[in-house]
Chains A and B, each alone.
Chain A
Amino acid sequence: MKLLPALILAMSAMLTEAADAPPVAEDPVLEKRVIRLASELRCLVCQNQSIADSNADLAADLRRQVREMLKAGKTEEEVRAFMVQRYGDFVLYNPPVKTATALLWAGPFVLLVVAVAALFLALMRRRAQIDERELTPEERERARTLLAGGGEKRP
């Protein structure tokens, strides 16, 4: 009869776990859209988390906002615009292409071009340093002994 209290204890532990679980979505399809959209939006409190990942209060509020807007039939574009209107481009993990963000978008490609150009120049310069001429008979002889495995006599 020791089993029963143990069982009750185990179950109560499960219950307390359950209290922490997120609210069950009534509509899994909608919830999936909410999560997908929320994972594109930056949480402003924690900044390095999306509002889908963050446990901050504001992130929960914004998830609710996204859910309500999608439920009301708003498009994802409209939800994004709503967030940008209030929090600025900063909320988007995918920043829009415009003059202020041109460097951000073009920067990696510019760097790539510069790096390739630098590599090319370095290779050209190295090639110029290579001294291409015929070997003298003595050098040829030396190479032959080296290749034959005879080694070189050191003075």
Chain B
Amino acid sequence: MNRFLIPLVAFLVLVVFLAIGLSLDPREVPSPLIDKPAPGFRLAQLRDSGKTLAVEELRGQVWLLNVWASWCAPCLEEHPRLLELSQARTVPIVGLNYKDSRDAALKWLAKHGDPYSTIVTDPDGRVGIEYGVYGVPETFVIDRHGIIRYKHIGPLTAEALQGAILPLVRRLQT
């Protein structure tokens, strides 16, 4: 009896560990930036390169920072959700145009619609590094005091928006 019991238990333990391992998404690396101040930047705006935007100017409001690029296919996937969000006017979405060319970005927005309140450009990806960006699209929720409260990696899904991001935004806004 014992002869079969021990390997069976060992096997079941292994199965449990493997099941946990399989259900984890290795691409979801927890960001150490959560609950830390959003790294500062002053970047040229996409629509008007003469103007800049700095993180400090967004103090006092809850905002989303959405990292995107015209070359990024999953960005197109989440795009309808961003458009809906901007139409509902729940929260300003600041776009960080990551390692992109101005022309390509503007053309992409003209074709697919523009959900952003402001867009800043990060042509060489330096601000991306400051935000620990490793896969576009990424979306950060930043509170009134400029603290990063949430980070979503990959295209925004309806579940991520309804389940995590919007409730958090509402809570931070009140």
Contacts and interface: CB of A to CB of B under 8 A. Distances in A.
Contacts of B99: 57
Contact of B129 (A47, A62, A89): A62
Interface in A23-57: 44-45, 47, 57
B29 A44 contact: yes
Given A47-B26, A57-B99, A86 B135 contact: no
Interface stretch (B30-38, B76-84, B89-97, B106-114): B30-38
Contacts of B56: none
Q: For the complex, would chain B's binding face be called helix, strand, loop or mixed by DSSP majority?
A: loop
B167 interface: no
Contact of B132 (A65, A87, A89): A87
Interface residues of A, number: 15
Nearest to B39: A86
Contacts of B130: 86
Contacts of A109: none
A85 interface: yes
Contact of B131 (A45, A58, A65, A86): A86
Given A45-B134, A61-B124, A65-B129, A86 B33 contact: yes
Interface in B1-39: 26-27, 29-33
Interface centre among A65, A85, A86, A87 (most CB of B within 10 A): A86
Contact of A84 (B27, B32, B124, B129): B32
A44 B32 CA distance: 14
Contact of A87 (B26, B124, B125, B134): B134
A86 B127 CA distance: 11
Interface centre among A45, A57, A88, A89 (most CB of B within 10 A): A88
Given A45-B135, A57-B99, A58-B134, A88 B125 contact: no
7 contacts: A47-B26, A47-B27, A57-B125, A61-B124, A65-B126, A88-B30, A90-B30
Q: 4 nearest interchain CB pairs?
A: A44-B134, A86-B132, A88-B32, A90-B29
